[in-house]
Structure 1
Amino acid sequence: MEESKHPCYNADAHHKYARMHLPVAPQCNISCNYCNRKFDCVNESRPGVTSEVLTPELASQKFSWVKENIENLSVVGIAGPGDALANWDVTRKSIELIKAKGEDIIFCLSTNGLMLPYYAAELVELGIKHITVTVNCLDPNIGARLYKVVNYEGKSYTGVAGAELMIQNQLKGIAYLVEHGVLVKINIVMVKGINDHHIPEVVKKMKELGVFITNIMPLIPAPGSAFEKFPQTSMKEINEMRDLCQLQMQQMRHCKQCRADAVGLLGNDRSNEFRMTKPEPEKSVFLAKQIGKEYKIAVTSKHGKLVDQHFGHATEFLIYQVNDKSFTLVERRKVEQYCSGASECDDSDSKEGRKNAAIQAIEDCNAVLTMRIGYHGQQRLLEHGIVSVEYCYTVEEGLSYAIEQLTMKKAI
């Protein structure tokens, strides 16, 4: 069966088979309060992020390139960076061009489901057997807190009206897909205090509709989104909810919340190796700023060039001394990694010692510069007077940005 080779639908497959996402769909027809689709973040891994947006022709060329170099490629998906069905013409053309190559490949796509009643029949006719729909609630009052704007048939809907329209179309489209043999996966973003109590009801309804699997994901407070100050949902809370909902139906537990241009195994994104276009470097606007004092900043980096590592994944911190004129690497401090994967990054007592050791290792620093850090980690560091700065480009650019953040906080 095809799902045996789809890494998202089969936990055993994600160590064996690779997938690639084609970023051909930049437009979105809704505005979610938890989303900020920053297209050019080269190192960050979350939905809606890509280093390039491709035409169908370039997407077809990229597929051939990846297929030649990754023998275990089994899946081609379209997951944005906007919504696949809000860009249906380019989505369909991209799939058709690749299907014409005659390769043995599985096609899938992700959508918010708003346009499913329009395109579900075409999806079935096109032979798409795996479709992911993000359904965060069934109650329009909850939806009104999650969705800012819903754009549909030339009109914009907000509040309960927009959420109600969204939910109706999602349920209608999912029912059609399941009836016509499509394996449907449901993504649910868990936002504490808004939809967390409601998730078991969503899962129950999806089971009634015949959905294949549900995937409960943590809120990632994206900078620039309406929910950027919300606490990130911990993996302990996610796994407790998955355990509860497992009584209803199968739960996905190995999701990596992938980029819109992800390539390779779920746990080993190789998108940087397969760019069709050259990214333009971001410009530093802070290097000439006179900061007036020295700062000590800890950096998490895999190889010392990019800010490309999560705080909990670090096995060493690069310690930089920063003054008015220069950035100087003065020390490397080894630590024991306390988070070895999304399913293990929880708040269990067994990891407390390693967390405390990581914080103690940088107690003399003013800030930590990292690709990502959870809300609870940020708060723990603040208790020690350490500011967390999230960034996703070169170390030099990141240090400049960190200086700006420290200067602003000092001024406040």
Structure 2
Amino acid sequence: MSEPMIQLETTRKASSNGGPGAAKSGGCASSSCGLTAPDDIDPAIWERIKDHPCFSEEAHHYFARMHVAVAPACNIQCNYCNRKYDCANESRPGVASEKLTPDQALRKVIAVASEVPQLAVLGIAGPGDACYDWKKTKATFERVAREIPDIKLCISTNGLALPDHVDELADMNVDHVTITINMVDPEVGAKIYPWVFYGHSRYTGIEAARILHERQMLGLEMLSKRGILTKINSVMIPGVNDAHLIEVNRWVRDRGAFMHNVMPLISEPSHGTYYGLTGQRGPKPLELKALQDRLEGGAKLMRHCRQCRADAVGLLGDDRGREFTLDQIPGDVTYNASKRHAYRQLVARERGDHLAARKDAITAVTSVGSGGSLLVAVTTKGGGRINEHFGHAKEFQVYAVSQKGINLVGHRKVERYCVGGWGEEATLYNIIATLEGIDVLLCAKIGDCPKKQLAEAGVRATDAYGYDYIETAIGALYAAEFGVEPLVATA
């Protein structure tokens, strides 16, 4: 049994022993045996997104995506972008360790699909633009679809060349498209985009932003008419477009976008971008959350994005791309579907339990007669459970809980506290700073020393809910916090 499947079985057994909020098994739940859509999602849409980790927050606990860097050419310049190659230590869009031909991409996809059972989606997200470098994008999808017909295909694009390829995308059954839209006002856009290349000409300033805006809106409308699900990515740039993104949200909602993902600007000077070199800061976590909260009620928000590399492999937040560089893949690799099929059968049962536990926990929280709220950070390695040691965590998932329910509202990346069995004090100080605004931290295990220092900084940390479902644990925590009886799960 592969490592992800062992982890799922282990967490199932651990939770069945009963923690403070342990859930009981609810039976099988695959698409063939009754996995039903959450109450807030249309069943027809659920069937299309239930295995897509970017379009479904629930699916990202179980399923992985893979990006192949076959599209290096780009037709616009963004002030936040520097397309670097052979850059293994940066985790952000536009970065890849190696560019691939369509044939090399096929070989890599076959290798990953045979070894990473969670793989459900193949995406092309650059490192340039998938629609501008269209011949390579199309050739890659055609090759992969022949070999692995059940894998979902999706692209990410700036939208300038998108209208030229909507019909072909539909013909290839590309059912998920992401467009990066940072403005609907060309005067704002001129501060983000130095130039665009369109119709064999280069445009600058407001004229460039106007052309890009018109093409983005046309592409979005065309996709909506064809029934293709569209996610809009927007980079939040403080002082440039942060307030303007409220208008962007309204525009994309009115034109049929399924989801809006507002991401923080990444602008370290070492990245070599215009914004990085000129001192433009990114938003603080609480600033990003505040903007996302203001957007609630508009287009559906994505809160679980990890701003993936152009060659990312694996679950969101757990990039395994370094394991699958071309020099590690045999030239005669053949596809073995057995691990993917076995994983799907196992995860189907787990997901049914998880959805039932989540529903029960939310019902319990919303029935509490209190106006209290908590911001809760969680360590997890997947499966929707609190199953990661504090010292091994590379990120914290952040949930807001109140009478409105239990909602994932973001994540915060950190360096591992424990390296070689030792805790690093400097790293702990940075982790404490990253947890600003968090009330409670839930983890599978935490030592007394970091627990004490977190408490001194105002963050209560506990491993009492280790291996429980995240929502079940948060529901029990909320009930205990506000003086009511905790949820008791039933078989």
Task: Indicate yes or no: 2:437 matched with 1:348.
Answer: yes
Q: Secondary structure at the match of 2:155?
A: strand
Match of 2:150 among 91, 104, 124: 104
Q: CA deviation at 1:102?
A: 4.2
On the 8 A contact 1:50/1:81 being kept in 2, the answer is yes
What is the rounded CA distance, in whole Å, between the counterparts of 2:324 and 2:95 in structure 1?
A: 15
What is the rounded CA distance, in whole Å, between the counterparts of 1:265 and 1:87 in structure 2?
A: 26
What is the rounded CA distance, in whole Å, between the counterparts of 1:241 and 1:41 in structure 2?
A: 31
Q: Secondary structure at the match of 2:231?
A: strand
Q: Secondary structure at the match of 1:251?
A: coil
Instruction: Name the structure 1 match of 2:406.
Output: none
Instruction: Name the structure 1 match of 2:284.
Output: 234
Task: Indicate yes or no: 2:273 matched with 1:261.
Answer: no
Q: What's the TM-score, normalizing by structure 1? A: 0.71
The CA deviation string for residues 91-119 of structure 1, in whole angstroms up to 9 with x for no partner, is: 00000000111431100000000001211
Match of 1:129 among 166, 175, 197: 175
Q: Which amino acid aligns with 1:97?
A: R
Quick one: percent identity of the two aligned structures?
Answer: 41
Instruction: Name the structure 2 match of 1:168.
Output: 214
Q: Secondary structure at the match of 1:84?
A: coil
What is the rounded CA distance, in whole Å, between the counterparts of 1:338 and 1:92 in structure 2?
A: 47
What does residue range 265-280 of structure 1 map to in structure 2 within 5 Å? Answer: 265-277=315-327
On the 8 A contact 1:144/1:160 being kept in 2, the answer is yes
On the 8 A contact 1:313/1:338 being kept in 2, the answer is no
Instruction: Name the structure 1 match of 2:63.
Output: 17
The CA deviation string for residues 373-412 of structure 1, in whole angstroms up to 9 with x for no partner, is: xxxxxxxxxxxxxxxxxxxxxxxxxxxxxxxxxxxxxxxx
What is the rounded CA distance, in whole Å, between the counterparts of 2:180 and 2:305 in structure 1?
A: 14
What is the rounded CA distance, in whole Å, between the counterparts of 1:199 and 1:311 in structure 2?
A: 24
The CA deviation string for residues 181-223 of structure 1, in whole angstroms up to 9 with x for no partner, is: 1000000000000100111110011110111000000000042
Q: Which amino acid aligns with 1:241?
A: L
Q: Secondary structure at the match of 2:212?
A: helix
The CA deviation string for residues 263-310 of structure 1, in whole angstroms up to 9 with x for no partner, is: 0100211000001148xxxxxxxxxxxxxxxxxxxxxx98xxxxxxx9
Distance 1:199-1:22 versus aligned 2 partners, 3 A rule: same
On the 8 A contact 2:234/2:262 being kept in 1, the answer is yes
Q: Which amino acid aligns with 1:245?
A: L
What does residue range 26-37 of structure 1 map to in structure 2 within 5 Å? Answer: 26-37=72-83
Task: Indicate yes or no: 2:234 matched with 1:188.
Answer: yes
Deviates more, 1:230-239 or 1:86-95: 230-239
The CA deviation string for residues 150-182 of structure 1, in whole angstroms up to 9 with x for no partner, is: 011211000000000000000001000011010
Q: Secondary structure at the match of 1:100?
A: helix
What is the rounded CA distance, in whole Å, between the counterparts of 1:312 and 1:189 in structure 2?
A: 21
Distance 1:346-1:118 versus aligned 2 partners, 3 A rule: farther
Q: Secondary structure at the match of 1:253?
A: coil
Distance 1:337-1:141 versus aligned 2 partners, 3 A rule: same
Instruction: Name the structure 1 match of 2:483.
Output: none
Task: Indicate yes or no: 2:108 matched with 1:58.
Answer: no
Q: CA deviation at 1:224?
A: 1.2
Q: Secondary structure at the match of 1:96?
A: helix
Q: CA deviation at 1:129?
A: 0.3
What is the rounded CA distance, in whole Å, between the counterparts of 1:311 and 1:269 in structure 2?
A: 13
CA RMSD, Structure 1 to Structure 2 (Å): 3.0
What does residue range 133-172 of structure 1 map to in structure 2 within 5 Å? Answer: 133-172=179-218
- Structure 1 gaps of 5+ residues are 279-300, 303-309, 319-330, 359-412
What does residue range 377-388 of structure 1 map to in structure 2 within 5 Å? Answer: none
Distance 1:261-1:153 versus aligned 2 partners, 3 A rule: same
Distance 1:85-1:5 versus aligned 2 partners, 3 A rule: same
Distance 1:24-1:336 versus aligned 2 partners, 3 A rule: closer
Q: CA deviation at 1:250?
A: 1.2
On the 8 A contact 2:69/2:310 being kept in 1, the answer is yes
Distance 1:346-1:150 versus aligned 2 partners, 3 A rule: farther
Instruction: Name the structure 2 match of 1:199.
Output: 245
Match of 2:417 among 315, 320, 327: 315
Q: Which amino acid aligns with 1:12?
A: E
On the 8 A contact 2:236/2:282 being kept in 1, the answer is no
Task: Indicate yes or no: 2:272 matched with 1:224.
Answer: yes
Runs of 4+ residues deviating >2 angstroms? 310-314, 331-341, 344-347
The CA deviation string for residues 329-380 of structure 1, in whole angstroms up to 9 with x for no partner, is: xx97446747779xx94642759xx8xx79xxxxxxxxxxxxxxxxxxxxxx
Q: Secondary structure at the match of 1:19?
A: strand
Q: Secondary structure at the match of 2:58?
A: helix
What is the rounded CA distance, in whole Å, between the counterparts of 2:415 and 2:108 in structure 1?
A: 30
Q: Which amino acid aligns with 1:225?
A: T
Q: Which amino acid aligns with 1:208?
A: D
Aligned length: 317
What is the rounded CA distance, in whole Å, between the counterparts of 1:69 and 1:349 in structure 2?
A: 37
Distance 1:56-1:184 versus aligned 2 partners, 3 A rule: same
Distance 1:311-1:110 versus aligned 2 partners, 3 A rule: closer
What is the rounded CA distance, in whole Å, between the counterparts of 2:52 and 2:113 in structure 1?
A: 16
Instruction: Name the structure 2 match of 1:4.
Output: 50
What is the rounded CA distance, in whole Å, between the counterparts of 2:240 and 2:436 in structure 1?
A: 21
Distance 1:271-1:155 versus aligned 2 partners, 3 A rule: same
Q: Secondary structure at the match of 1:85?
A: coil
The CA deviation string for residues 21-50 of structure 1, in whole angstroms up to 9 with x for no partner, is: 011001111000111111121021100011
Q: Secondary structure at the match of 1:268?
A: coil
Q: Which amino acid aligns with 1:107?
A: L
Q: Secondary structure at the match of 2:322?
A: helix
Q: Which amino acid aligns with 1:230?
A: Q
Distance 1:6-1:317 versus aligned 2 partners, 3 A rule: closer
Q: CA deviation at 1:231?
A: 1.2
On the 8 A contact 2:122/2:152 being kept in 1, the answer is yes
Instruction: Name the structure 1 match of 2:132.
Output: 86
Instruction: Name the structure 2 match of 1:386.
Output: none
Q: Secondary structure at the match of 1:74?
A: strand
Q: Secondary structure at the match of 1:103?
A: coil
Distance 1:346-1:170 versus aligned 2 partners, 3 A rule: farther
